[in-house]
A and B are shown apart, each in its own frame.
Chain A
Amino acid sequence: MSESVTKAPVDTDPVTIESEAASSSHRILFAIIAVLLVVAPFVAYPVFVMKLLCFALFAMAFNLLLGYGGLLSFGHAAYFGMASYISAYTALHWNLNPEFAILLGTLGALVLGAVFGAVAIRRTGIYFAMITLALAQMVYFFCLQATGFTGGEDGIQGVPRGHLFGVFDLHNDLTLYVVVAVVFLAGFAIIYRVIHSPFGQVLKAIRENEPRAISLGYRTSRYKFVVFVLSATLSGLAGATKAIVFQLASLTDVGLGTSGEVVLMTLIGGMGTVLGPIVGAGVIVGMSNYLASLGGWVTVVQGVVFVVCVLLFREGIVGVLNKYAKTKF
């Protein structure tokens, strides 16, 4: 199927026109985010903000797959966690500069995402969710057993933050913050661009009605594969960055709990919205930070939030706000 044929229906799609009309409000939005990023480290604890940004990027990457591709992966911690291990390992044992450590971690997630994606997209719906979950569990067991690489139960501790490009000392929280903010913005820009491209429109078409997209001539499995790999790679970028920020990679990053948390972030913020995952990440990271005194009850609270969101609040925070603002953020 030639490209010119596949693009034709997209350009006249009303959705595209609508998003063009919204693009001026999106420009304002970008400005607000940029201002918030500049102000944040001075009003909040920088390490907390960096944690938030890493998880927000992770959630945005996940939302690209679920909210726009309609694919619920229940094992996204695999890419996040694996990248985090690779980045921590190469920074600690190979003395790599942080930029190379992060790059290698991200590449690792890309490869893992390509392999798992090729298997998982063979089934859809809940089967897809179960397959991604099982594959992620395989990664978890690997990380548990390969103690030479991952440090087993201890994880990889004392990862050096190092010097960016051999020049900028990242042990300064503010310098590191700038790096993390740039990584976050780059990820945000990539995801925004993908969503608002013809590729993104085809993804939405597949999400809404896959048989119809197939009958229009789209090879839907290719689109799904590409978005899966992209989502895994960006999740990896988030995980690798997080390993450098916290100087730690642990089993938690690769476990089922993290996979569930990223689903919850997207659900609570609003799936299929640009801003939703960021807001959701803010709520969940903030919650686990401020409710830390509850100890074991945090998971119960998370479970209750899950149930309430599904029963009463499926559009998420940003989804509800969008209804009032009559636009699409």
Chain B
Amino acid sequence: MTTIFGVPTAALFGQLLLGLINGSFYAILSLGLAVIFGMLNIINFAHGALYMMGAFAAWMALTYLGLNYWWALIVAPLVVGAIGILIERTLIAPIAKLDHLYGLLLTFGLALIIQGIFRNYYGSSGLPYAAPPQLSGGQNLGFMFLPYYRGWVVVASLIVCLATWYMIEKTKLGAYLRAATENPTLVQAFGVNVPLLITLTYGFGVALAAFAGVLAAPIYSVNPNMGVDLIIVVFAVVVIGGMGSIMGSIVTGFGLGVVEGLTKVFYPEASSTVIFIIMVIVLLVKPTGLFGRAA
């Protein structure tokens, strides 16, 4: 068996792929956080809970309605996004003008509620959700074995991330969005419905989280705690990348996933803390984050 730096290539590329997959989730989630933060100035602590909700929506769609994975990929983000819109209208909009910290506390409370409800109804042990038959199996690439589903996750999240980036940076709607982020009053004066834009942005960010949840469902078992640990890592990713740039959150998300995967190969003990260690180093060298602008 061939080895690189004393590590079997199959293990190395296996962890690299796993890192890329985790990175896909980091990227989609931190992208959603960045979009929401840009418009609403709120750190959406409920993001992890909504990601978990997306995974559960896929499981429920299959179990109760018989809708398969491909339907879930469309339906779950729509349903959870709609719930997000409801949350924004009823809970977040009233505190929009207050200190950011209240938004953080409110969404933290929301996360407790959502996770608590799912934990009470479905327990903490996790429910299985099979990958779609079209994507079962895999391909031996010679240096490693590539399960089709995992490849699909990486490709799908890349497409979604880049599409979001294109929409925000290159289209007219995105221009409105960016302008409203800079100066909502002025944009409103030009006849753009800014409150609607804000609501839809929140809905969209939440839908991104739910989409990630559906992608995750066949890889990890669907369980109420799946968002909790992930979201803290994603916050660290956000601090490292800096909240300023959309591209920044995509690049940092994938990059840190890979770094984490490589750490698992060379020094497994540090794999769960490596991202936090990088965060500390980045903060000491460049407090605004790698892609961030000065606050």
CA distance A267 to B110 in the complex (A): 15
A306 pairs with B101, CB closer than 8 A:
no
User: Measured between alpha carbons, how far is A295 from B273 in the docked complex, in Å?
Assistant: 32
A299 contacts B by Cβ under 8 Å: yes
Which of B109, B236, B272, B283 contacts A304, CB < 8 Å? B109
Taking a contact as CB atoms under 8 Å apart, the answer to whether B106 and A311 are in contact is: yes
CB distance from B63 to the nearest CB of A (A): 21
Measured in the bound complex, the distance between the Cα atoms of B115 and A125 in whole Å is 26
The answer on a CB contact under 8 Å between A256 and B95 is no
| Chain A: CB-nearest residue to B271 | A141
Give the CA-CA distance A303 to B116 in the complex, in Å: 9
Residues 104-116 of B, flagged 1 when their CB comes within 8 A of A and 0 if not, give 1110111111111
B196: Cβ under 8 A from any A Cβ: no
Q: If A123-B295, A130-B43 touch, does A306 touch B273 (CB 8 Å cutoff)?
A: no
* In the complex, residue of chain B having the shortest beta-carbon distance to the beta carbon of A301: B116
Q: How far is the CB of B291 from chain A (nearest CB, A)?
A: 14
Docked complex Cα distance between A131 and B287 (Å): 11
Task: Tell me if A237 is interfacial: C-beta within 8 Å of chain B.
Answer: no
Chain A residues near B43 (CB-CB < 8 A) = 126, 129-130
Q: Cα distance A181–B200 when bound, in Å? A: 53
Say if the beta carbon of A300 comes within 8 Å of chain B: yes
Residue of chain A at shortest CB distance from B242: A127
Kindly state whether residue B29 has any CB partner on chain A within 8 Å: no
* Contact A119 B102, beta carbon cutoff 8 Å: no
Partner of B119 from the list A127, A133, A260, A296 (CB cut-off 8 Å) is A296
A124 in contact with B295 (CB, 8 Å):
yes
Report the minimal beta-carbon distance from B40 to chain A, rounded to whole angstroms. 12
Pick the contact of A297: B100, B114, B120, B276 (CB < 8 A): B120
A72: min CB distance to chain B, Å: 5
Q: Give B242 Cβ to nearest chain A Cβ, in Å.
A: 9
Is A7 in the interface zone, CB < 8 Å from B? no
The total of chain B residues at the interface (CB under 8 A) is 43
What is the interface size of chain A, counting residues whose CB is below 8 A from a CB of the partner?
40
Find out whether the CB atom of A296 lies under 8 angstroms from the CB atom of B295: no
CA distance A124 to B280 in the complex (A): 15
**Shortest Cβ distance from B105 into A: residue:** A310
> A256-B228, A311-B106 known; A134 and B235 CB under 8 Å?
yes
Determine whether B4 belongs to the interface, using a CB cutoff of 8 Å to chain A: no
Write out the residue numbers on chain A whose beta carbons fall within 8 Å of the beta carbon of B116. 296-300, 303
Q: Contacts A296-B120, A299-B112, A310-B109 known; A134 to B102 CB distance under 8 Å?
A: no
A61 CB within 8 Å of chain B? no
The residue in A124, A134, A306, A307 that gathers the most chain B C-beta atoms within 10 A of its C-beta is A134
Give Cα distance in the complex from A72 to B277, angstroms.
21
- Beta-carbon contact of A122 and B110 below 8 Å: no
Chain B residue, CB-CB nearest to A120: B283
Interface positions, chain A 80-124, Cβ under 8 Å from B, are 119, 122-124
**Which residues of B line the A interface, CB within 8 A?**
43, 91, 94-95, 98, 100-102, 104-106, 108-117, 119-120, 228-229, 232-233, 235-236, 238-239, 243, 269, 272-273, 276-277, 279-280, 283-284, 287, 295
What are 17 residue pairs bridging A and B, where the CB atoms are less than 8 Å apart in the complex? Answer: A74-B104, A122-B284, A126-B101, A133-B232, A137-B236, A141-B272, A141-B273, A263-B105, A263-B108, A267-B105, A302-B109, A303-B110, A303-B116, A306-B106, A306-B108, A307-B110, A310-B106
Ranked nearest first, the 10 interchain pairs of A and B with the lowest CB-CB distance are A306-B109, A303-B112, A303-B113, A300-B116, A299-B116, A138-B276, A134-B236, A307-B109, A310-B106, A130-B235
A-B contact sample (11 more), CB < 8 A, given A126-B104, A299-B115, A303-B112: A72-B101, A119-B284, A127-B243, A129-B101, A134-B236, A141-B273, A263-B105, A263-B108, A303-B111, A307-B110, A307-B113
